[in-house]
Structure 1
């Protein structure tokens, strides 16, 4: 008897396994982290990736975190992504309206803002954040607002949204996709699947791409926050948020206007920006620190730096850079009052760039060391900024853990740290 195979056992696939079990189906789950085969009380089998046998599998559901060059993906004969799986279950009895939000930075904030604007219509967030797709489907949620990664889009063959929102696309996840060009292609891929009764909000720079030219629905282009505010019919000053969150809010308003002809600025302005993204706080000496641990790529870090360019910046940089070039950061700040404190696996690369651009550099290796060094020299006119331009998994379990530890180290007394040693 052939099995349903699950590739990767993580945030998205765990609820998928539970969903399938409720339907009376058992799963064979393959993941590199499993060292030997085991099973649970529901009859699911957990096995190392090397034990996958395509001849024993009738369907392979892939976690978006599994890259296309992984042996599991290369061996699969009936591969499907999570989005396609649930799209295939939609019917006349239940076919929710779906909004997908993608791009390099700002996906989470835009998704949360739009969900707030559409709560009265039964909207719930899902995808990378919020409620798993399996739960959205089981609860028969009428409106899915999905933060959609390029990983998920890569594996889509049929599914498409009613509205696709694409935030600016910058270099990121180059290792996973193979090239920046392939990354862009995946970001534009939904346009190739969408029908005539759909809408898309796309950066104007992509207006001449084949995906845009062949798009069947109605498309709205934007260049920046000013062009978006003009399209909506408001002034940017009506929105309380500064960049980069201003763009996120305007995109949410534009989406609400397109789908439902609603523009609720008061409700949008009630939104609270989440943790780990340009989150300001002060230490016991009332010095300014900023947790931008969610700044996991170059563009996100550049946006954070622009907010504080009038201050002396003590920047904590580094981690798993996913193959992206870090040069734009150094080109931007080479004439600024800035010092860089490196952590993570790419710090030797950062050291060479600092030497090339003549920027003062501290090789710290660990986050705690970087914070300690900054504490000794940070003044009231400066800012201690964690904006790594890199993923966290080389040293931390997540960007959240990195941000939490950053705040913990900042708020600890130096004398307390000395006593711990």
Structure 2
């Protein structure tokens, strides 16, 4: 009898896993607690895959041989608890897809910078002529590509949620950019649980594989001392340190790759800011490990277009620059944004708080921010922390109101920065929706 594979969640990840399971000849059923988007229904129907929406029917799910769970479904969901009681294996889409491809995997995680680094790495590899796919948190689902394409390499952005249910999957090149508190609501407010999830990116790595990481991250260094890895280590840092493979010297970035060293001037990078320096280092090391020519790496770093909703310049109106950083869904992301600001800032903050500690940005706020606009359903925590620390703090209950207030509070030479520190689900469908609304409101000023 065919093995029964149940897919929970029918978004990009779940639909891709369902198609791969069908192509491999399994008995497949898809169940989504929410309504399934028409685009994904059309794909499921095209492959004759049975599905249900708006519910999980236990009789159709608890007879599974294996379950592929979408990353957004938390462990405490009742259907997951029921599956655990029956000892039915639960895996991620990435784990499932990894079984059916021999492609080399370049995997990227971190609390911040992973989308930029993933797209930058993909841009370098693709421009150098490699047969490469883009997957994970960006691009198409890995499983769908494994089912329908034939790539030699994949560049994959992995969130902690995707890493949670990976067991036998292996990254040939693993990149860990940084670890700062995020998603603690999903990890029982225990930082170590979140750290353990991030370190799963190194799981199953051997002496043939490579681990690239930020050398100055205290959490990463502590973990490496406690759990030495088999993989070859390629750390990067802001300044030259023992064993570091990429660093900055004067206004140059030095990449000490396995076979040759090369230099990129800081002015040649298309992406500004200290955090993008690190993202560029990580992408460059991974490209060099794959024997991509230094001139190809230089060219790709200088013509790369940035990521939407990440320090995205929207418009300059009446001498004020408006910047969309809606992707900043945690405090550390906002820290990077503020750190790169060179003018007085009107900061739009707020949303669904994930257990945030705002002390990390306190100094930067005091030094750079003239006004805060709290955009959320419940702004009490922001007021408790920031009241009295800056000249002006006010509330807004819609993006239009927030942008109009920012317009009134700003003067020529200022920057209005949307960098919310929080998830978007209180007032918006997603951080993309939040950023799109911001851009539309700014353009309508």
TM-score by length of 1: 0.89
1:181 aligns with 2:192: yes
Deviation at 1:334, TM superposition (A): 2.3
- Is the Cα contact below 8 Å between 1:192 and 1:214 reproduced in 2? no
What is the alpha-carbon distance in structure 1 between the residues aligned to residue 303 and residue 292 of structure 2? 20
Aligned counterpart in structure 1 of residue 150 of structure 2, from 130, 140, 150 = 140
- Residue 32 of structure 1 is matched in structure 2 by 33
- Residue 50 of structure 2 is matched in structure 1 by 44
User: What SS is found at the alignment partner of 1:184?
Assistant: helix
- Is the Cα contact below 8 Å between 1:202 and 1:220 reproduced in 2? yes
Deviation at 1:322, TM superposition (A): 1.9
Aligned counterpart in structure 2 of residue 354 of structure 1, from 371, 380, 386 = 386
CA spacing shift, 1:158–1:23, aligned 2, 3 Å: closer
CA spacing shift, 1:222–1:412, aligned 2, 3 Å: same
Deviation at 1:159, TM superposition (A): 0.3
- Is the Cα contact below 8 Å between 1:354 and 1:360 reproduced in 2? no
Deviation at 1:329, TM superposition (A): 2.0
The one-character-per-residue Cα deviations of 1:241-297 (angstroms, maximum 9, x if unpaired) are 322222211211111112316322122211111221111132443421111111111
User: What SS is found at the alignment partner of 1:12?
Assistant: helix
1:272 aligns with 2:278: no
Aligned counterpart in structure 2 of residue 131 of structure 1, from 132, 137, 140 = 140
User: What SS is found at the alignment partner of 2:387?
Assistant: helix
1:200 aligns with 2:230: no
Aligned counterpart in structure 1 of residue 104 of structure 2, from 97, 119, 122 = 97
Deviation at 1:107, TM superposition (A): 1.0
- Is the Cα contact below 8 Å between 1:191 and 1:212 reproduced in 2? no
- Is the Cα contact below 8 Å between 1:28 and 1:47 reproduced in 2? no
- Residue 75 of structure 1 is matched in structure 2 by 82
1:214 aligns with 2:228: yes
- Is the Cα contact below 8 Å between 1:101 and 1:111 reproduced in 2? yes
- Is the Cα contact below 8 Å between 2:236 and 2:282 reproduced in 1? no
CA spacing shift, 1:393–1:216, aligned 2, 3 Å: same
CA spacing shift, 1:225–1:275, aligned 2, 3 Å: farther
Structure 2: segments with no counterpart, 5+ residues = 248-253
- Is the Cα contact below 8 Å between 2:94 and 2:143 reproduced in 1? no
- Residue 307 of structure 1 is matched in structure 2 by 340
- Residue 435 of structure 2 is matched in structure 1 by 403
What is the alpha-carbon distance in structure 2 between the residues aligned to residue 6 and residue 356 of structure 1? 50
Structure 1: segments with no counterpart, 5+ residues = 414-421
- Residue 8 of structure 2 is matched in structure 1 by 7
1:252 aligns with 2:252: no
User: What SS is found at the alignment partner of 1:118?
Assistant: helix
What is the alpha-carbon distance in structure 2 between the residues aligned to residue 87 and residue 407 of structure 1? 38
- Residue 237 of structure 1 is matched in structure 2 by 266
CA spacing shift, 1:225–1:112, aligned 2, 3 Å: farther
The one-character-per-residue Cα deviations of 1:288-322 (angstroms, maximum 9, x if unpaired) are 111111111111111111222x4221100011122
In terms of mean alpha carbon deviation, does 316-325 or 232-241 score higher? 232-241
CA spacing shift, 1:289–1:43, aligned 2, 3 Å: closer
In terms of mean alpha carbon deviation, does 353-362 or 187-196 score higher? 353-362
Report 1:378-417 matches (<5 A): 378-413=410-445
What is the alpha-carbon distance in structure 2 between the residues aligned to residue 394 and residue 298 of structure 1? 17
Q: How many residues align?
A: 406
TM-score by length of 2: 0.84
Deviation at 1:104, TM superposition (A): 1.1
- Is the Cα contact below 8 Å between 2:106 and 2:155 reproduced in 1? yes
- Is the Cα contact below 8 Å between 2:171 and 2:202 reproduced in 1? no
- Residue 418 of structure 1 is matched in structure 2 by none
Deviation at 1:333, TM superposition (A): 1.6
Over the aligned positions, Cα root-mean-square deviation in angstroms equals: 2.5
- Residue 419 of structure 1 is matched in structure 2 by none
What is the alpha-carbon distance in structure 2 between the residues aligned to residue 193 and residue 22 of structure 1? 27
User: What SS is found at the alignment partner of 1:169?
Assistant: coil
Deviation at 1:237, TM superposition (A): 2.2
- Is the Cα contact below 8 Å between 1:296 and 1:390 reproduced in 2? yes
- Residue 324 of structure 1 is matched in structure 2 by 356
- Is the Cα contact below 8 Å between 1:125 and 1:145 reproduced in 2? yes
